[in-house]
Amino acid sequence: MNSKQTNHSETKRHFPICLALALTLGVFAAGSEELVISPLLPDLAKAFSSDVSVLALSISIYGVMIFIGAPLLVPLGDKYSRELSLMAGLLIFIAGTVICALAQNIFIFFLGRAFSGLAAGAFVPTAYAVVGDRVPYAYRGKVMGLIVSSWSLALIFGVPLGSFIGGILNWRWTFWIFAMMAVLVASLVLFEVRRHAAEKGEPEENEQPAGTFRDALKVPRVPVYIMITFCNMIGFYGMYSFLGAYLHHVFSGGNTTAGLLIMIYGIGFSMSVFTGKIADKAGKMRSLITAMAVISIWLACLAYAPSSMTFLVIGLFVWGLMQSLTVTLLSTILSDCSERHRGKIMAFYSLASNLAVTLGSAAMGPVYVGYGYAAVGFICSAVTVLGFGLSVFAYRRYGSYDQKADDSLSQ
């Protein structure tokens, strides 16, 4: 406890710019490479004399390897050091991206995608854990907001940029660019390691063993916040997966109109830097309850929103705003549950999110086809309400901790 308080008092004076930049760029690169495959599929199919549906398997391979990478590599951070886990993820990411850029057949390309997915599974949850280790609680929401916003920036800027580079030059250059970005991130991480070592002085020894994944789930607050994460992500992905198809059906502008409206959501989501800063002052658990309540109401209303363009635009922006705030808060709260088990806890967080991606879209597909978008909205809203109820329960049981943490840092 004393070492943690000392760490807070030492780092409270300055905002960790280099660390925040490294983690944000790393998640941006991982998110961009994960999503950029979609617009590159026709070029990849032509290059490997294959079919688009076969190349689409590279997306599934990436997702499967994320599930493997998180429990396989993240524990290195708990047992040895976060930097080791980060650097392992970055080196594997660079290797996988270079393999994709050099691939001369589809099997080598799939191998590169597998390495990249493995790396993302290690890097992303470790990045969240590093924020818990190195960033004072007073700044943690802001830094976590930066990292969370990098996912929306990957969607808004990373994917179009990668697609543009692939169209102007060659699809291989898209992967070379992401590889060079990862090299930059690795350099920033090494710089941060040296800076932190010099600031810290003598290295601290681990007084306790790292523990197991089962031990991490026994930490107070962890199971309930993992469940809240799962409920929120199921509701989000179940609704978002069919948002484009629904807007395309409703508006005569087709893909163009749907794309512009979805971009409004993305702009709202990118505001997590500011919403995270506000939540730092307002109280993280109370802010989470508010955000979950707003999302629950909006999901039930979304199918009826197109009757008023003003209401739809404002609603999509607010949805993005609240969703980014929820993701930021959940990752921040979970990262502070246990210093000893932080890496494993964030691995569970990442796994819950990725499982929700799969189940949310898969489960809501038949509902959308058979009963329409309104039915999807009511089901997703009900799941989110469950998460809201759990967040209220968590606040009543653990809310004093949130206030205590905020008060202790303001002194």
Q: Return mean pLDDT, the chain.
A: 78
184-209: average pLDDT: 67
- Is residue 48 located within the same domain as residue 180? yes
For residue 308, give the DSSP letter: S
Q: What is the pLDDT of residue 405?
A: 46
Q: What local confidence, expressed as pLDDT, does residue 102 receive? A: 94
Per-residue pLDDT at 404 exceeds 90? no
pLDDT at 286: 83
Locate 217 and state its tokens.
């789930």
The token pair that represents 172 in the structure block: 């291989």
Kindly provide the b/e burial profile for residues 279-291, where b requires at least 16 CB atoms within 10 angstroms of the residue's own CB: bbeebbbbbbbbb
Residues 171 and 25 in one domain: yes
Helix pair angle (57-73, 342-371), 10° resolution: 150
Q: Are residues 60 and 183 in the same domain?
A: yes
Q: Give the end of a domain, one of 159, 176, 200.
A: 200
**Mean local confidence (pLDDT), 275-295:** 81
Residues 166 and 129 in one domain: yes
| Sole residue written with tokens 């930097």 | 83
Residue 408 identity: S
Question: For residue 14, which phi and psi values (nearest 5 degrees)?
Answer: -130, 145
Note the pLDDT of residue 115: 93
Answer yes or no: is 163 within a domain.
yes
Q: Is the domain of 180 the same as that of 219?
A: no
> What pLDDT does 256 receive?
60
Q: How far, in whole angstroms, is CA 80 from its chain's centroid?
A: 24
Lowest mean pLDDT of 103-112, 139-148, 176-185, name the range: 139-148
What pLDDT score was predicted for residue 297? 95
State the pLDDT at residue 38: 65
Structure confidence at residue 2 (pLDDT)? 43
- C-alpha dist (Å) from residue 405 to 89, 239, 290, 342: 31, 35, 20, 17
Average pLDDT over residues 319-329: 87
H-run or E-run covering 36 = none
Lowest mean pLDDT: which of 21-30, 167-176, 180-189, 333-342?
333-342
- Is the model's pLDDT at 325 over the cut of 60? yes
Continuous segment of H or E residues that includes residue 339: none
Is residue 37 a part of any domain in this protein? yes
Coil, helix or strand for 399? Answer: helix
Q: Distance between CA 252 and CA 402 in Å, rounded?
A: 48
Phi, psi of 241 (to 5 degrees): -60, -30
Q: Could you tell me which of 212, 227, 226, 225 has the C-alpha nearest to residue 340?
A: 212
From the CA atom positions of the chain, what is the Rg in Å? Answer: 21
Whether residue 167 sits in one domain with residue 224: no
* H runs (alpha helix) in 12-105: 17-35, 37-47, 52-55, 57-73, 75-79, 82-102
Range of the domain at 296: 213-410
Is residue 61 a part of any domain in this protein?
A: yes
Judge whether 4 lies within some domain: no
SS3 state at 335: helix
Same domain, 235 and 129: no
Among residues 382, 102, 88, 395, the alpha carbon closest in space to that of 235 is found at: 382
Question: Does the pLDDT value for residue 114 go beyond 60?
Answer: yes
In a domain, 1, yes or no: no
pLDDT score of 231: 93
Please tell me whether residues 189 and 237 are part of one structural domain: no
Looking at the structure of the chain, the number of domains it has is 2
- Cβ within 8 Å of residue 202, ≥6 positions away: none
Of 200, 235, 268, the one marking the end of a domain is 200
pLDDT at position 407, please?
Answer: 40
Amino acid of residue 383: V
On whether the CB atoms of residues 367 and 379 are closer than 8 A, the answer is yes
Determine the pLDDT at residue 10.
42
CA 40 and chain centroid, separation:
23
Q: Which of 122, 133, 150 is nearest to 21 (CA)?
A: 150
Alpha carbons 120 and 114: distance in angstroms, whole number: 10
pLDDT at residue 15 in the model: 64
Residue where a domain stops, chosen among 200, 221, 242:
200
Residue 206 belongs to a domain = no
Same domain for 226 and 185? no
CA-to-CA distance for 61 and 283, rounded, in angstroms?
Answer: 39
pLDDT value at 332 more than 70: yes
CA angle at 330 for the pair 327 and 332, rounded to the nearest 5°: 105
What is the number of helices (H) and of strands (E) in the chain? 20, 0
One-character DSSP codes across 354-367: HHHHHHHHHHHHHH
What is the structure's pLDDT at 287?
A: 86
Q: What is the DSSP track for 118-160? A: HHHHHHHHHHHHHHHHHS-HHHHHHHHHHHHHHHHHIIIIIHH
Query: Is 235 within a domain?
Result: yes
Could you read off the pLDDT of 21-78 as tens digits, one per residue? Answer: 888 888 888 877 876 776 677 788 888 888 777 777 777 788 778 878 777 777 777 6
Q: Comparing 404 with 64, which gets the higher pLDDT?
A: 64
At residue 408, the pLDDT reads 37
Do residues 299 and 385 both lie within one domain? yes
Q: In this structure, what CATH number is given to the domain that contains residue 30?
A: 1.20.1250.20
User: 120 or 1: which carries more pLDDT confidence?
Assistant: 120
Q: Which residue has the tokens 């290690």?
A: 122
Q: What is the pLDDT of residue 167?
A: 72
Q: Does some domain include residue 260? A: yes
The residue ranking higher by pLDDT, 129 or 90, is 90
CA-to-CA separations, 130 to 5, 140, 141, 175, 293, in angstroms, rounded: 17, 10, 13, 26, 29
* 161 and 288 co-located in one domain: no
Same domain, yes or no: 173 and 319: no
Count the neighbouring beta carbons within 10 Å of the beta carbon of residue 58: 22
% the chain with pLDDT above 70: 80
